[in-house]
């Protein structure tokens, strides 16, 4: 029994979902401006600006070059388009970027890069619908797109000019092509999959794990030897020949060996596309391998000596799913995986293969970041929506039998858009009940229950993003209250953990910055600051609140911060939290609200300004 939804209703619902996706990703995009607070955005914006002048050489190879090239294309079109209309936009000058005359242009370049991420997120909403539709049916596609639209994690990542939202889009496209491999096995399907895999890997190296679903699609297609027989809507089962004949194991192995050149060709095409999209990987191979090896070593040994999570591994990423989607969806994720493993249709196994393998791979590492789950989100949305669709059909059928509703088959013409959005005609007091009304009522209330927590988190995150950052507030307070020429101990690295006092060209007064180690102001003894004539110590929780693996050293840092509390005078406090509750500090908070989202009122760290005694 197929869900009753017409093409027209699907189109209107998809337009509404897309507009909602655009709004939720655009709201709060001004986060941190005019300053650049996200630690990774400069990795993409600075190389993209160099593209405008014809320089395609990346700054480093910790990430592939395709996404900076895409931003660079947008910059180039904007730059030369403005020139056509008589404007003379200056290229970003790293040595003078926050001078008063440059700030409007600097803000513009950052906005443009973030708009690209917004566009990518919105386009992926449409593509996830297509992935769900091709894998199962239109309603599954709509459900997957809706979950992706309102959920906190994918919405958060679309606010930043980094490659996490783009890699999710690339994964969606690759899995879409994999379905063609599974269902048809034609040469063009393998070629398109190779192109998509090459593009995905040129966006982010972790997309190389897509070889797993590609291999699964090849094996499953081989198990059936000829195109699969449709048995229910878009659903297929193992071992069913067009004539209903099962093949022997020997025939399956022979088929797989004879066609082994196809996945090999897919890999070769992927490598060629990757080399074309990220050419300096080969041109600067030694540097690439050094940076790539450093990534691997960090994944093996951890990140900068930090205790990123007390549990780590699988428990951490389960917590990420809780933060990013809410507990109702987290439960449904687990139930959906178990249900589809039990049903084990070929398309189920294909959709499950990537998130399950990705979760297994990620939880084995020692470096944990919530954004690293982004590549595995699209298929997770699809399998969840498919499970909800099937369960809703079964529940509505059961209710129909229990209450003896008439018309116990779905209308082939489908429901109206109003019925779709309002749970059928349940709110319109229909003259007679039927199973379609029951079905839409079930779907409406199920999605309402599942999505309300994560939608609340998303809207609160956008509200937080739209508020002033504590680092900016501290900067203006320091400029207005601490005389120029004063000696300060402050974390001024770029992007800054603390107030952006050292941003190039910024007119905030001439201060004397005492050298502070990368670990923060507490890395040095406070008496040393005082002996060197430092008047103020400015501490950021992005440093002093970080849990370290070396608990002895952490105890020393806490002791020095306690000395500040006892011996120095706290003259200013910039606190982004609603109350005293903080929770465990996860390094994800440096990139944006994470596990602490609902405790926040502003973005940024806690900034403490102390005046040292003399």
Split at pLDDT 50, 70, 90, the class of 427 is very low
Q: Binning pLDDT at 50, 70 and 90, where does residue 226 land?
A: very low
What local confidence, expressed as pLDDT, does residue 414 receive?
44
Question: Which residue reads 């297509």 in tokens?
Answer: 130
Given a contact cutoff of 8 angstroms between Cβ atoms, the answer to whether 450 and 381 are in contact is: no
What local confidence, expressed as pLDDT, does residue 402 receive?
67
Q: Output the pLDDT for position 495.
A: 63
Q: Are 217 and 182 in contact (CB under 8 A)?
A: yes
CA contacts within 13 A on the Cβ side of 191: 3
Give the pLDDT confidence of 371-422 residue by residue, as tens digits. 999 999 999 999 999 999 988 888 877 776 766 655 544 443 444 443 444 4
For 233-275, what is each residue's pLDDT tens digit? Answer: 444 444 444 444 566 777 778 878 888 899 999 999 999 999 9
What is the distance between the alpha carbons of residues 512 and 593, in angstroms, rounded to a whole number? 32
The pair of structure tokens assigned to 236 is 């297929």
pLDDT over 50 (residue 345): yes
CA distance 92 to 95: 9
What's the pLDDT band for 506 if we cut at 50, 70, 90?
low
Here the tokens at position 389 are 């669709």
* This prediction's pTM: 0.88
Give the pLDDT mean for 20-40.
91
The DSSP output letter for 521 is G
Question: How many Cα atoms occupy the beta-carbon half-sphere of 279 within 13 Å?
Answer: 5
296 C-beta neighbours (distance < 10 Å), count: 11
Query: Average pLDDT for residues 137-163, to the nearest whole number?
Result: 95
- For residues 257 and 24, the answer to whether their CB atoms sit within 8 Å is no
Q: Which of 514, 533, 487, 520 is nearest to 605 (CA)?
A: 520
Domain range summary for the chain, segments of one domain joined by +? 7-231+238-287+304-387, 470-611
């Amino acid at each position: 029994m197929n869900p009753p939804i017409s093409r027209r209703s699907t189109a209107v619902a998809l337009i509404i979902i897309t507009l909602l996706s655009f709004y939720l990703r655009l709201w709060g995009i001004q986060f941190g401006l005019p300053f650049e607070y996200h630690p990774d955005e400069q990795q993409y914006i600075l190389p993209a600006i160099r593209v405008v002048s014809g320089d395609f050489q990346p700054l480093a190879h910790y990430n592939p070059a395709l996404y900076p090239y895409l931003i660079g294309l947008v910059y180039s079109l904007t730059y030369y388009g403005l020139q056509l209309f008589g404007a003379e936009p200056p290229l970003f000058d790293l040595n003078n970027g926050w001078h008063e005359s440059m700030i409007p242009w600097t803000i513009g370049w950052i906005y443009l890069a973030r708009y690209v991420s917004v566009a990518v997120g919105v386009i992926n909403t449409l593509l996830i619908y297509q992935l769900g539709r091709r894998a199962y049916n239109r309603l599954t596609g709509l459900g997957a797109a809706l979950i992706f639209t309102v959920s906190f994690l994918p919405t958060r990542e679309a606010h930043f000019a980094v490659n996490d939202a783009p890699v999710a889009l690339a994964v969606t496209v690759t899995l879409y092509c994999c379905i063609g491999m599974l269902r048809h096995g034609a040469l063009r399907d393998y070629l398109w999959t190779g192109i998509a895999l090459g593009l995905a890997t040129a966006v982010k190296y972790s997309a190389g794990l897509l070889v797993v679903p590609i291999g699964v699609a090849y094996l499953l297609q081989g198990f059936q030897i000829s195109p699969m027989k449709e048995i229910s809507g878009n659903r297929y089962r193992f071992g069913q020949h067009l004539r209903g004949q099962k093949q022997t194991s020997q025939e399956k192995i022979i088929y797989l060996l004879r066609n082994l050149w196809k996945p090999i060709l897919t890999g070769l095409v992927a490598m060629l596309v990757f080399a074309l999209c990220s050419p300096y990987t080969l041109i600067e191979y030694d540097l690439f391998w050094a940076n790539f090896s450093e990534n691997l070593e960090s994944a093996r040994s951890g990140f900068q000596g930090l205790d990123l999570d007390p549990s780590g591994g699988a428990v951490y990423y389960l917590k990420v799913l809780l933060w990013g989607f809410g507990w109702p969806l987290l439960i449904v994720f687990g139930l959906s995986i178990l249900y589809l493993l039990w049903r084990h249709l070929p398309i189920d196994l294909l959709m499950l293969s990537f998130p399950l393998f990705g979760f297994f791979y990620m939880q084995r590492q020692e470096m944990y970041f919530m954004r690293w789950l982004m590549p595995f989100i699209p298929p997770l949305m699809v399998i969840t929506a498919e499970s909800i669709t099937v369960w809703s059909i079964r529940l509505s059928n059961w209710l129909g039998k229990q209450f003896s509703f008439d018309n116990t088959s779905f209308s082939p013409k489908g429901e109206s858009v109003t019925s779709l959005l309002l749970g059928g005609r349940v709110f319109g007091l229909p003259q007679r009940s039927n199973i379609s009304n029951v079905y839409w009522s079930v779907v409406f209330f199920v999605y309402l229950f599942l999505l309300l927590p994560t939608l609340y988190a998303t809207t609160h995150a956008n509200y937080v993003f739209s508020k002033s950052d504590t680092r900016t507030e501290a900067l203006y307070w320091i400029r207005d209250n601490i005389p120029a020429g004063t000696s300060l101990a402050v974390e001024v690295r770029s992007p800054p953990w603390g107030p952006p006092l050292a941003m190039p060209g910024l007119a905030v007064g001439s201060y004397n910055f005492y050298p502070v180690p990368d670990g923060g102001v507490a890395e040095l003894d406070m008496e040393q600051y005082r002996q060197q004539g430092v008047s103020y110590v400015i501490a950021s929780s992005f440093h002093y609140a970080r849990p370290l693996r070396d608990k002895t050293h952490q105890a020393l840092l806490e002791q020095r911060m306690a000395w500040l509390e006892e011996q120095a005078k706290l003259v200013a406090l910039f606190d982004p939290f609603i109350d005293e509750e903080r929770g465990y500090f996860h390094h994800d908070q440096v990139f944006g609200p994470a596990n602490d989202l609902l405790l926040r009122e502003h973005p940024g760290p806690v900034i403490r300004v102390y005046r040292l005694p003399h």
